[in-house]
Structure 1
């Protein structure tokens, strides 16, 4: 990393620079435990400075050296699954330099001394550091350290699986989430272009990447559990059948990788649209801890506390606590309550057993308890064929109509409440053989218990104490064997088993009065209790193999296949209204996935790639709706979704590494698109295969670091996602409520796919500096923009979500205190208080309700870590 003198500041003596750099480095070191974990390194002969930066970026360790010391020196090749110290030792072979550890446990590179230095070959892997720390050299023999190279993995330098498809990927680190003050899962889309997250509560969270993902888009007060998303979510290598299973895990983040395109060979069948891959930090063999408190407007409070350290020489532990609460910003005019808030308490514990450098066992368990008041506001009601049916029916029952888009107000006689308890446990074991092979085993169990109490969106009692109770349990076992990096060929093979049991109990409890009958036009609703029971049992077995042929030093070819066999069984029963019993249904599917990737090194710093993939996502069952009564029993079985994708891209470093850039074009076809529609005759959501659609576009991202103070990042995705063949869509309300209301189906061929804005853009800039009094400070700004999109699968003009742009600012400072470091920051999200909607959905009689995004919030964060 280059150190440049800027501005008119007078030159600082070299001894002062040395002292300052060392002080800054040592203050950061406690928060960066020198990693004993291994990483896959494949670095050819190149300038030593570049190799050292790559190792630091890959492993996240802190490293200091004199840039002049490594000028005109080439590194030895580095290859294998190695710790950071082992990789650096390989790189230094034959250079006359050595790796040492100072009294403060900082890694440093210096000229080789007469006495042999402690290196990775006699290091103690149990303590993640050499057995005998080498004292800092005396003034006569030490090198002048002009800068401490401290590199943490980021979006531009992903820690990639060597067999991973070279498609577009973005990395968001936990540090970046904290610095940008991302307060919710949905706000992750403000950092990653092409990612779209619609969420109303943890049971109803939809991910899409480039328009491909969760086929939701309708709401009817119940959830259909019979279909997984095609954007797979992983937590520490454990597949989560529903994104809401993340719970409090986002408070304990090492990094999040968002991968575009089909990833079925290495991540499984249900990743045909992409992957959100989340990793939490490992326990440390060095005592560390931190606590932070954030306070903001609207009652926002978040506290995160972490402790980690050794229990024995071979066992380390880590525990994370989270409390987060927010009052919400929706006001109920009926009683003055503030709604749409949340409160969560979570704990996550880990143990890391590491008897030597070859074997590690990581045990994790987490628990969270959440209470929310999700509340939509009335966005609009529409005049159709000369009348406004929602206002007409509201007048019949005396409902007070309040449009909440401006003041965020509602008028409700009853309110929504949900209670969610969830958690799980996992065990990950890694064993590295002397031959370089690595065997990984991941065992996991998770549960999700969701208890809602939902009401209508009216000021009079139509229904209340309703909703869909969900109990979801999943267990999995995964094995993977990775070969060492070979001169001509390397590969990975694996096998996975996944089991899941889901059960739902859905209730709609209508008021015991004449109001429901007046509102819906039938006295049969008065005092009616509609009960719907659904069960789903999934079992899948899959195996994959993927290998890379190194044709020459410039050209790699990667090919892989996965075959998944699934057995899916379920049943749906409905009582009291349109009674129905599907009986127990069983579906069997064999789902192939394949990939073929080409990488070509154009220059030392610039590479190109072509990625081709095919995948089939799991089939589904209509286990939450009695659609078969009208559509026939065949409608209860949903066929697998088939995806073909291609991506051509280029990425690399320019301007001597100051500019990191990538660009690509992509094309994806989705056949038998799995989505859900709404059946007004039974007030229920049902699943369907909705023809074919195409997603195509271009993507680019830049990261520019003109000096050691500025960081500028921009990224954008243009995506044209359109239905190519959707001749039998359910009609939107502007049709069903109009003079042509008898029309059974509509043709959406050629229309834009829902949940797919055409353009998403993110940009951020950060300036940081250090002062001689030991303070480290920063200022930053972020802008996120997305164009309009349809909120429901029927492309209703009523649910067209307007585009919006958000600006956020932050500033902070920090320094050393006692044995640790403190930092303080102030931040403002949504600076201009833009009103925007996370989601718009159709409600009764042409009305539309929406979930409002976060208004302007000003807050501050205070952190101490040691």
Structure 2
């Protein structure tokens, strides 16, 4: 990308204006949602980004398009390399993801329930994070907001939100293209074109393709796995009939036929077969029987892979009436997913799985807010509606598992509808003090229908539907003080709410369909923002305490004569606490440093459940299933206690016509449990990764060339993990990748 990048974005995420020297002012970061602004990357190359946000009382991490590009953030998972206290993990190596922000999150294999951390793209909430797959291109920026949200926009949740902003159409012609080639024949191509079509009418068309990159090999036959095969398009049409009105119509389409990283077993729970031994951590075993592939209509020899389509459209209407601004956002998103995983990680068919997902979601949001950001009184009121429909079918191949020796399928439907009303108001008092409060009320209805488990050649079980409804309030109250022009402190209390839902995969008895209850959290947060040496040193930090009631946790249920299965349940009482901070330093000419730090602890205060480790140990000794019940009161919540990421960048002008940027970056994640109370192989080991980049560009900013490396030390590490019938497995992380990227634009 060029050094000077015009990047119009929705001002829903536009930082508030900086506070004046004598009077602070605070207003909602979404109070002027929908208007356009322009990011000039060149203006930030010798200063800290988003200076206006230093006057907003929040713990949001705001990321420029340049920072995302430098750190090679091309998927949602990459955001954990540039934000504190954030862990994003793929599910069994697939495109589906689970979020943990400040340790708040849960593992939902089916992705059929509302997540504690929501994904937004251009102000549109995605109820299922998989729907956002393939959309991380032509970016204008991103933000990560921890803690309960929802009183100013969108939906309420308990963990926070990740908001991606993509570039809008421009009033002048622009074109850009990027080609990225890296190890293992990985290739990523991007391009965009943007400009006017008529007076007041402009468009933008952008796309990307991704191929190769497979780094796993099968020592049994020399086959390799993991090649990407994805393409995506996004189009936007913007019409400004007058100076007060903006109408923005957008649409996108993604086709993903990528192979996925497969699991590596680390412990056998059932059976006597030896686990595979590999000469390299980049090796793995996988297989698929032709009979199983025929069952779900795919070719014999299918590898662990995706066969997905995602598409959607959204309409933004913004009109400034003078004293108030009206915003309406309508969106429709669809997901068509076909996904094969070899979960046991062996050449046997003990837990091979294929699932299909057909889902769609319609959302409608309307907001009114005052138009003048300089007013002492700032307010926003609005309403939000969401309707989603989903049908899933799971196919399982247990042919080589001696206790079953069959293939089976489970299918079900999910219906959901929610409506909420929200309001937020803030008032600036004398002496640079601002008070604010917000309130949200939400009704949510969910039901599961038509669930049937069929053993091919055996019995078929049909289960009656279940439903659950929630009627809850969420809210926020806080105070901030702009102590000096360059230092802000704040304190707030927030209540977050997330509706209940269902666990539906591999259902064997009706009781598994009992809905889990809504989750609520009361969060206390105190923070500060300071530029003690303007343009030289910036230090931001926040401390928090979360008081959970009925926290939704992936627990365990034991099915007699079948074995332990994962089930989302509620921990009646739990808590977590910690802090996060960001230090940005420009100690002397040419050197720029960034360090994010996140630390959190938490435990269950009351959590009666089946102890999976003890239950598995009993089976190993007695060869029969017996539930060993336990209460995990006082047990750690298992989330990584310490997460770090940062970078050092040396920016060197060359003969006034060119510039050279280079430096390392790093990431650390502490140990993480993959089952409540887990120790030993039930925990993912900690890891540290080192990367680097060097970029050469002319002063004109028309083009740039970059060499980069990730995981330079070629460290072996586990990105996520889980259980699949007979084994516990880890999903290995990427090995060393070395690549080059060339961009051109005007």
Query: Normalising by structure 2, what TM-score?
Result: 0.89
Selected match of 1:643 from 504, 518, 521: 521
Query: Secondary structure in 1 aligned to 2:626?
Result: coil
Q: In the alignment, does 2:125 pair up with 1:208?
A: no
**Structure 2: distance between partners of 1:623 and 1:708:** 58
Following TM superposition, by how much is the alpha carbon of 1:43 offset from its aligned partner in structure 2, in angstroms?
A: 4.5
Following TM superposition, by how much is the alpha carbon of 1:560 offset from its aligned partner in structure 2, in angstroms?
A: 0.6
Deviations 1:607-659 (A, max 9, x none): 11001001220111234353644xx47x5121100111011111121113421
**Structure 2: distance between partners of 1:459 and 1:84:** 53
Following TM superposition, by how much is the alpha carbon of 1:443 offset from its aligned partner in structure 2, in angstroms?
A: 0.5
Deviations 1:711-765 (A, max 9, x none): 21112111112112113244226534344862432332222213x1111111211
**Structure 1: distance between partners of 2:409 and 2:706:** 51
Q: In the alignment, does 2:371 pair up with 1:480?
A: no
Q: Is the 8 A contact 1:580 1:626 kept in 2?
A: no
Aligned residue in 2 for 1:672: 550
Following TM superposition, by how much is the alpha carbon of 1:185 offset from its aligned partner in structure 2, in angstroms?
A: 2.6
Aligned residue in 2 for 1:569: 447
Selected match of 1:857 from 734, 737, 745: 737
Q: Given the superposition, is the C-alpha separation of residues 152 and 500 from structure 1 closer, same or farther in structure 2, using an over 3 Å criterion? A: farther
Q: In the alignment, does 2:156 pair up with 1:277?
A: no
Q: In the alignment, does 2:410 pair up with 1:532?
A: yes
**Structure 2: distance between partners of 1:84 and 1:666:** 32
Query: Secondary structure in 2 aligned to 1:737?
Result: helix
Deviations 1:167-217 (A, max 9, x none): 31112222212112234332221111200011035553100101102344x
Q: Is the 8 A contact 2:170 2:195 kept in 1?
A: yes
Aligned residue in 1 for 2:617: 735
Deviations 1:290-313 (A, max 9, x none): 111111111211111111111112
Q: Given the superposition, is the C-alpha separation of residues 319 and 697 from structure 1 closer, same or farther in structure 2, using an over 3 Å criterion? A: same
**Structure 1: distance between partners of 2:346 and 2:18:** 66
Q: Is the 8 A contact 1:158 1:170 kept in 2?
A: no
Give 1 or 2 for the bigger CA radius of gyration.
1
**Structure 1: distance between partners of 2:47 and 2:79:** 15
**Structure 2: distance between partners of 1:37 and 1:640:** 32
Q: How does 1:280-679 map to 2 (within 5 A)?
A: 280-381=166-267, 393-394=272-273, 401-404=275-278, 406-414=280-288, 415-435=303-323, 437-455=324-342, 457=344, 460-462=347-349, 466-483=353-370, 484-485=372-373, 487-511=375-399, 516=400, 519-521=401-403, 525-526=404-405, 528-571=406-449, 572-576=451-455, 579-626=460-507, 628-629=509-510, 632=511, 636-679=514-557
Query: Secondary structure in 2 aligned to 1:367?
Result: strand
Selected match of 1:801 from 678, 684, 689: 684
Following TM superposition, by how much is the alpha carbon of 1:351 offset from its aligned partner in structure 2, in angstroms?
A: 0.9
**Structure 1: distance between partners of 2:629 and 2:240:** 61
Q: In the alignment, does 2:6 pair up with 1:32?
A: yes
Q: In the alignment, does 2:43 pair up with 1:150?
A: yes
Selected match of 1:690 from 565, 571, 578: 571
**Structure 2: distance between partners of 1:854 and 1:589:** 41
**Structure 2: distance between partners of 1:230 and 1:405:** 39
Q: Is the 8 A contact 2:262 2:343 kept in 1?
A: no
Query: Secondary structure in 2 aligned to 1:187?
Result: helix
Give the RMSD, CA atoms, in angstroms.
Answer: 3.2
**Structure 2: distance between partners of 1:607 and 1:352:** 37
Following TM superposition, by how much is the alpha carbon of 1:468 offset from its aligned partner in structure 2, in angstroms?
A: 1.7
Moved more, 804-813 or 330-339: 330-339
Query: Secondary structure in 1 aligned to 2:222?
Result: coil
Selected match of 1:234 from 94, 117, 120: 120
Unaligned runs of 5+ in 2: 289-302
Query: Secondary structure in 2 aligned to 1:248?
Result: coil
Aligned residue in 1 for 2:66: 175
**Structure 2: distance between partners of 1:592 and 1:244:** 28
Following TM superposition, by how much is the alpha carbon of 1:816 offset from its aligned partner in structure 2, in angstroms?
A: 6.1
Selected match of 2:698 from 815, 823, 843: 815
**Structure 2: distance between partners of 1:332 and 1:493:** 57
Following TM superposition, by how much is the alpha carbon of 1:852 offset from its aligned partner in structure 2, in angstroms?
A: 1.1
Deviations 1:759-813 (A, max 9, x none): 1111211111223351122112111112111123452532211111111110011
Q: Is the 8 A contact 2:153 2:422 kept in 1?
A: no
**Structure 1: distance between partners of 2:118 and 2:34:** 27
Q: Given the superposition, is the C-alpha separation of residues 194 and 456 from structure 1 closer, same or farther in structure 2, using an over 3 Å criterion? A: closer
Q: Given the superposition, is the C-alpha separation of residues 736 and 501 from structure 1 closer, same or farther in structure 2, using an over 3 Å criterion? A: farther
Q: Given the superposition, is the C-alpha separation of residues 643 and 628 from structure 1 closer, same or farther in structure 2, using an over 3 Å criterion? A: farther
Aligned residue in 2 for 1:744: 628
Moved more, 459-468 or 275-284: 459-468
Aligned residue in 2 for 1:193: 84
Aligned residue in 1 for 2:655: 772
Q: Is the 8 A contact 1:776 1:814 kept in 2?
A: yes
Q: Is the 8 A contact 1:168 1:260 kept in 2?
A: yes
Q: Is the 8 A contact 1:295 1:302 kept in 2?
A: yes
Q: Is the 8 A contact 1:269 1:617 kept in 2?
A: no
**Structure 1: distance between partners of 2:425 and 2:61:** 23
Query: Secondary structure in 2 aligned to 1:178?
Result: helix
**Structure 2: distance between partners of 1:224 and 1:34:** 36
Query: Secondary structure in 1 aligned to 2:134?
Result: helix
> How many residues align structurally?
716
Query: Secondary structure in 2 aligned to 1:372?
Result: coil
Higher relative contact order (CA 8 A, sep 6+): 2
Q: Is the 8 A contact 2:232 2:253 kept in 1?
A: yes
Unaligned runs of 5+ in 1: 1-26, 60-78, 86-105, 108-147, 217-222, 383-388, 396-400
Following TM superposition, by how much is the alpha carbon of 1:340 offset from its aligned partner in structure 2, in angstroms?
A: 2.7
Aligned residue in 1 for 2:300: none
Q: How does 1:41-190 map to 2 (within 5 A)?
A: 42-46=17-21, 150-151=43-44, 157=50, 166-190=57-81
**Structure 2: distance between partners of 1:863 and 1:439:** 38
Aligned residue in 2 for 1:763: 646
**Structure 2: distance between partners of 1:456 and 1:790:** 18
Deviations 1:57-106 (A, max 9, x none): x99xxxxxxxxxxxxxxxxxxx9998779xxxxxxxxxxxxxxxxxxxx9
Query: Secondary structure in 2 aligned to 1:324?
Result: strand
Aligned residue in 1 for 2:712: 831
Following TM superposition, by how much is the alpha carbon of 1:553 offset from its aligned partner in structure 2, in angstroms?
A: 4.1
Q: Which structure: greater strand fraction?
A: 2
Moved more, 491-500 or 600-609: 600-609
Q: Is the 8 A contact 1:224 1:685 kept in 2?
A: no
**Structure 2: distance between partners of 1:301 and 1:82:** 35
Q: Is the 8 A contact 1:373 1:416 kept in 2?
A: yes
